[in-house]
Amino acid sequence: FSRCSYLLSLLRPALIRELELERHGLKLLPRSPSSFTPCLDGRYLLLGPEAELNRSEIGKFSKKDAEAYPRYEEQLEKFCKLMDFVIDSPPPELRQLYHASMVDRMKDKVDKSVFWSKLLGIVMQQGQKDMVNFFDLLLSPASKILNNWFE
């Protein structure tokens, strides 16, 4: 049974502010722990916002994975910041330019160039290795990504 409350985490902060949802009663409660995974052998994995607790919990299964997990989380945080811009930006409009005036065509070019130049600036800050890893994350099976990081 799911109440779909996890979907609330997908609600963008700008939308919460714009709709004044807190004024209308929205209250976000932190989850701690945020994840409980039971195993058939009776063991379990409990994860939350505390790095040391996560390290200890993962260490019950693998010391190497416990060491790798903070770096994995750090990389995911970097990639989330990259995606935040894309998610929070309105996409460039696709206008019917063959019927558009010269002014509309120029506006279209400016709108698109502003979006793409900002995105390119964010991408360039990442560095080549991070960008390769970012595209790997987007385009590869989860098993490949996780096998690269963990035992």
How do residues 75-126 score in pLDDT, each as one tens digit?
A: 999 888 888 887 887 766 665 656 667 677 777 777 777 777 777 777 778 7
Residue 79 within a domain: yes
Q: Which has the minimum average pLDDT: 54-58, 76-80, 112-116, 132-136?
A: 112-116
How many structural domains does the chain have? 1
Residue 118's pLDDT is what?
78
Host domain of residue 131: 75-92+99-151
Residue 47's φ and ψ, nearest 5 degrees, are: -120, 150
80, part of any domain = yes
**91 DSSP 8-state letter:** P
- How many C-alpha atoms does 77 have within 13 Å on its Cβ side? 6
Residue 95 has what pLDDT?
58
- Stretch 5-14: mean pLDDT, rounded? 78
Write down the pLDDT at residue 1: 46
Residue at 82 is within a domain: yes
| Encoded tokens for 91 | 């996409």
Read off the pLDDT of each residue in 4-33 and give the average, rounded to a whole number: 85
Average pLDDT over residues 118-140: 82
Answer whether residue 113 is part of any domain: yes
Residue 126 maps to a domain: yes
Would 26 be classed as within a structural domain? no
In a domain, 140, yes or no: yes
Q: Alpha helices of 2-141 — where are they, by DSSP H?
A: 13-18, 51-59, 63-88, 102-126, 128-139
Query: Helix or strand or coil: residue 45?
Result: strand
Indicate if the pLDDT at residue 3 is higher than 70. no
User: For residues 150 and 65, is the Cβ–Cβ distance under 8 A?
Assistant: yes
| Tokens matching residue 25 | 């009663």
| Residue 32, both tokens | 């701690």
Please give the Cα distance from 89 to 115 (Å, whole number): 8
The closest alpha carbon to 132, from 123, 121, 142, 120, belongs to 123
* Chain CA centroid to CA 129, Å: 18
Residues of the chain by 3-state class (helix, strand, coil), percent to 5: 65, 5, 30
Within a domain: residue 63?
no
